[in-house]
Amino acid sequence: MIFRRALQRELASVAGATFTVLFSILVTWTLITILGRAAGGKVASGDVLALIGLAVLNYQPTILILTSFISVLVVVTRSYRDSEMVVWFASGQSLTRWIAPVLGFGLPVVAIVAALSFYVMPWAQLKMSEFTQRFEKREDLQRVAPGQFRESAATNRVFFVESTGGRTNTVVQNVFVNTVEKNVTTTVVAKEGVIEPDGKGGQYLVLKNGRRYQGTPGRSDFQSMEFERYRMRVSTQVPVLGDVSVGGLSTPALLAMPSNQYTLSELQYRITSPLMCLVLMLLAIPLGFVNPRAGTSANLILALLIFFTYLNLTKAAEKAVQQGKLDFGVAWWPLHLLIVLAALGLFAWRMNVNHHLHPMVLLNAFKRRRLLQSAAGGKGAK
């Protein structure tokens, strides 16, 4: 009982430190990505913080899986490095006795990963899609950022405004609008513009004190005119969200839908995360073996290679189901079973007391070497 509590405290401590590092890296990377999209005009600048929070929620299962895997591996490796495992085996204890305390620490993490995978991630993906679609279907002038050129949703018009004013940002100053319609180019510049609704869900941009150019300079049909007030339509409908993607469906809604390769692939994706978390924690126990006289970095590098290979293979299986190359019934479990069998094989290998890398064998070899060195020293003294 004392061993179990001490082990779980150490696992929780290492997991907290590991999660903090991985979470900081994730937030930094997400911040850079979302800010890049906002600077490129793909998302609204006012939605950046919400999108960062939703993206972080979306990646939480992967972070927790890697955190639990590394935590168990680091604790087991430290026990080998500090020769605690030598005492453990010398007292007649088996490596399998580590499974219960590790599961005591890991099962709550598996439950959290399952909750995130089945409930939180679909909600986060749905909200991210809503933010993105709402921005893409906003009225043209609402997508304009001061000091930047922006293309309209119809891709036939380019807007530029120097600044905006008013509480609702419906007043713009120093406006430039270039429109290409039926191979005719029209350019309008004005000192000020006001966005006005047309009462039917659309909007007009009312420009004041400006100039309008139409056609190609130098040709006979080129026109130039000054105006005090000029109206142009910039939106004809109220923004409407599109269809919800499969990734944004709640798990009950996903299960209620007719089975096809897309719904089955998404279901496999949600099942995979908690299974990965559980299997990798069990694999980390025998994988944490290290020779006390050797370094520990090789273990961590091998663990990261195993994690990313495992993750990529699960993605490949999900893609195969989505493309109809594999049936769901034979795609979701073989890879996890293979990792479980590998873990059982490692358990059997580490528990083989006759193996040259077993801690007891290493301890006996160390004792023999010390005895030989003592005997050689005694002969030299005589």
pLDDT of residue 71: 93
What's the pLDDT tens digit per position in 86-116?
777 777 777 888 888 899 999 999 999 999 9
Same domain for 312 and 336, yes or no, is yes
Structural domain includes residue 48: yes
Residues 166 and 229 in one domain: yes
Q: Tell me, what's the pLDDT at 143?
A: 52
Q: Assess if residue 265 is contained within a domain.
A: yes
Residue 382 lies in a domain: no
**Same-domain pairing of 257 and 314:** yes
Q: Render each residue's pLDDT in the chain as its tens digit; 382 residues.
A: 677 788 888 999 999 999 999 999 999 999 998 888 777 667 777 788 888 898 899 999 999 999 999 999 999 888 888 777 777 777 777 788 888 889 999 999 999 999 999 999 999 888 888 777 666 655 445 555 566 676 665 566 777 777 766 555 567 778 888 888 777 888 888 888 877 766 665 667 788 888 888 887 767 778 888 888 888 766 544 333 344 578 888 888 888 887 888 888 889 999 999 999 999 999 999 888 776 665 566 778 888 899 999 999 999 999 898 888 888 888 888 999 999 999 888 888 877 654 555 555 555 555 566 666 666 655 555 5
**Residue finishing a domain among 235, 265, 283:** 235
Write down the pTM of the prediction. Answer: 0.69
116 in a structural domain: yes
Q: What integer pLDDT is reported at residue 201 of this predicted model?
A: 55
Q: Are residues 352 and 267 in the same domain?
A: yes
CB 94 within 8 A of CB 306: no
Q: Are residues 222 and 344 in the same domain?
A: no
Whether residues 334 and 256 fall in one domain: yes
User: What span, in angstroms and rounded, lies between the C-alpha atoms of 194 and 187?
Assistant: 18
For residue 379, being part of any structural domain is answered with: no
If asked whether residues 290 and 270 sit together in one domain, one would say yes
- DSSP label of 215: S
* Cβ(117)–Cβ(57) below 8 Å: no
Which has the closest alpha carbon to 195: 228, 160, 233?
233
* Whether residue 345 sits in one domain with residue 207: no
Task: State which of 218, 235, 252 marks the end of a domain.
Answer: 235
Q: What is the pLDDT of residue 65?
A: 95
Say if residue 270 is in the same domain as residue 369.
yes
- pLDDT at site 177: 83
> What is the extent of the structural domain holding 210?
140-235
CA pair distance 340, 116, nearest whole angstrom: 23
CB < 8 Å & 24+ apart, contacts of 176-180: 177/205, 177/207, 177/232, 179/232, 180/156
| Domain boundary pick from 235, 268, 288 | 235
Q: Are residues 308 and 366 in the same domain?
A: yes
pLDDT of amino acid 293: 62
- The set of residues, in sequence order, having a beta carbon less than 8 Å from that of 162 and lying 6+ positions away, is 146, 147, 173, 174, 175
- State residue 273's pLDDT score: 93
Domain assignment present for residue 380? The answer is: no
Identify whether residues 94 and 217 lie together within a single domain: no
Count of domains observed in the chain: 2
* 151 & 130 share domain: no
